[in-house]
């Protein structure tokens, strides 16, 4: 076994966040009685794929991603559509993957990048750097050392006695530092992080952590860069724990719709869709204006619980139906 140890240190903030997250996981597990509905699993999986690819500059909307995975024809960049299809196949395989197997990592990458890069399912054969515009912010280790670095990282994770919440975040950072593939490192690193957490608690297989990473994308890349400069990933670990805590809070809000303490549910006699219809009235409003009337601040929750169900039930319609992502988009009741 290698003596490899990733450079990071524990902080009081990490300890506090672990306690909060563990408490939330326990509460959600009890409320869900150990099960997540197939509908919610699929919905969260689609949100995960959309957010992870959006971080990598895929321009397809959540509605378009959903349509692609429903087998519908979507007008868009063929490579971006392929990215969605590949990601879905890779995530569908996730439950059968062994997170300690390098062979399974390569198998997942082969699916994720099939038809997108020549070296799909293989470690990179050349050098690679991470750029912010034209500025090099990270130069990955030489390709010849990648197999050794990855095997050492997997061995460290398997034998480490750190809490899974901590060591999975450290793994995530170290994976991005090694940058083992010619392309697809970000989406593979995020997927493997979810796999590691899912093996700890099954809930994490279906938690769309990527959605909150996307909402804090600048911080995410900033924490990766700072860890490089400081040769210590503690700041990145803290950020990922904050993101995981935030994701769990969203699940709590969604699944505890009758909880009197929830700041997202203020009228127990109405469903989210009924509340949306009530505040919309006979007006034509943008998503932001509807959220303001509802007293909501988190856009993913609004779309998931209010807007998308209302659209799917044909209760409301877009004023610019052929351009769903238009900045001038508004919504009105369907007549």
CA distances (Å), 322 to each of 64, 74, 75, in order? Answer: 12, 12, 11
Candidates 149, 179, 193, 298; catalytic one = 179
Instruction: Give pTM, 2 decimals.
Output: 0.74
Query: What pLDDT, on the 0 to 100 scale, is given for residue 36?
Result: 63
Residue 220 annotated as part of some ligand binding site: yes
Quick one: which of 289, 293, 288, 273 has its CA closest to 334? 273
- pLDDT tens digits along 42-66: 888 999 999 999 999 999 999 999 9
163 is catalytic: no
Query: What pLDDT, on the 0 to 100 scale, is given for residue 43?
Result: 87
Residue 135 annotated as part of some ligand binding site: yes
Show the low-confidence residues of the chain (pLDDT under 50). 34, 252-269
Query: What pLDDT, on the 0 to 100 scale, is given for residue 292?
Result: 84
Residue 88 annotated as part of some ligand binding site: no
12-255 CATH choice from 3.40.190.10, 1.10.3290.10, 3.40.1260.10, 1.10.3720.10 = 1.10.3290.10
- Which class in CATH covers the domain with range 272-333? mainly alpha
Residue 173 annotated as part of some ligand binding site: no
Residue 132 annotated as part of some ligand binding site: yes
Residue 92 annotated as part of some ligand binding site: no
> Taking the domains of the chain in order of start, what are their residue ranges?
12-255, 272-333
Query: What pLDDT, on the 0 to 100 scale, is given for residue 51?
Result: 94
- pLDDT tens digits along 248-281: 887 644 444 444 333 443 344 467 888 899 889 8
Residue 134 annotated as part of some ligand binding site: yes
Residue 198 annotated as part of some ligand binding site: no
Query: What pLDDT, on the 0 to 100 scale, is given for residue 133?
Result: 66
Query: What pLDDT, on the 0 to 100 scale, is given for residue 335?
Result: 77
HEC-encoded secondary structure of the chain: CCCCCCCCCCCHHHHHHHHHHHHHHHHHHHHCCCCCCHHHHHHHHHHHHHHHHHHCCCCCCHHHHHHHHCCCCCCCCHHHHHHHHHHHHHHHHHHHCCCCCHHHHHHHHHHHCCCCCCCCCCCCCCCCEEEECCEEEEECCCHHHHHHHHHHHHHHHHHCCCCHHHHHHHHHHHHHHHCCCCCCHHHHHHHHHHHHHHHHCHHHHCCCHHHHHHHCHHHHHHHHHHHHHHCCCHHHHHHHHHHHHHHHHHHHHHHCCCCCCCCCCCCCCCCHHHHHHHHHCCCCECHHHHHHHHCCCCHHHHHHHHHHHHHHCCCEEECCCCCCCCCCCCEEECC
């Amino acid at each position: 076994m290698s003596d490899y140890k990733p450079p990071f240190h524990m902080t009081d903030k990490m300890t506090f966040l672990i306690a909060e997250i563990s408490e939330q996981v326990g509460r959600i597990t009890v409320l869900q009685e150990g099960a997540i509905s197939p509908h919610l699993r699929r919905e969260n999986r689609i949100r995960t794929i959309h957010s992870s690819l959006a971080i990598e500059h895929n321009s397809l909307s959540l509605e378009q991603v959903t349509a692609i995975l429903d087998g519908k024809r979507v007008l868009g960049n063929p490579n971006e559509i392929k990215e969605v299809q590949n990601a879905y196949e890779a995530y569908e395989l996730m439950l059968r993957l062994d997170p300690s197997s390098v062979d399974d990592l390569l198998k997942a990458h082969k699916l994720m990048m099939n038809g997108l890069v020549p070296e799909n399912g293989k470690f990179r054969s050349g050098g690679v750097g991470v750029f912010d515009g034209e500025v090099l912010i990270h130069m990955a280790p030489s390709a010849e050392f990648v197999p050794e670095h990855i095997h050492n990282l997997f061995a460290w994770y398997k034998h480490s006695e750190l809490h899974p919440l901590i060591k999975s975040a450290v793994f995530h950072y170290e994976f991005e530092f090694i940058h083992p593939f010619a392309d697809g490192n970000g989406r593979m690193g995020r997927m493997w992080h979810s796999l590691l957490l899912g093996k700890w608690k099954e809930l994490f297989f279906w938690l769309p952590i990527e959605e909150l990473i996307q909402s804090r994308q600048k911080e995410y890349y900033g924490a990766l860069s700072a860890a490089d400069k400081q040769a210590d990933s503690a700041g990145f670990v803290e950020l990922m724990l904050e993101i995981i805590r935030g994701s769990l809070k969203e699940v709590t809000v969604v699944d505890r719709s009758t909880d009197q303490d929830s700041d997202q549910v203020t009228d127990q006699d109405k469903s989210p869709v009924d509340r949306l219809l009530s505040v919309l009235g006979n007006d034509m409003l943008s998503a932001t204006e509807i959220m303001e009337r509802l007293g909501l601040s988190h856009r993913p929750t609004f779309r998931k619980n209010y807007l998308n169900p209302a659209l799917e039930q044909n209760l409301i319609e877009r004023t610019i139906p052929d351009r769903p992502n238009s900045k001038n988009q508004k919504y009105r009741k369907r007549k």
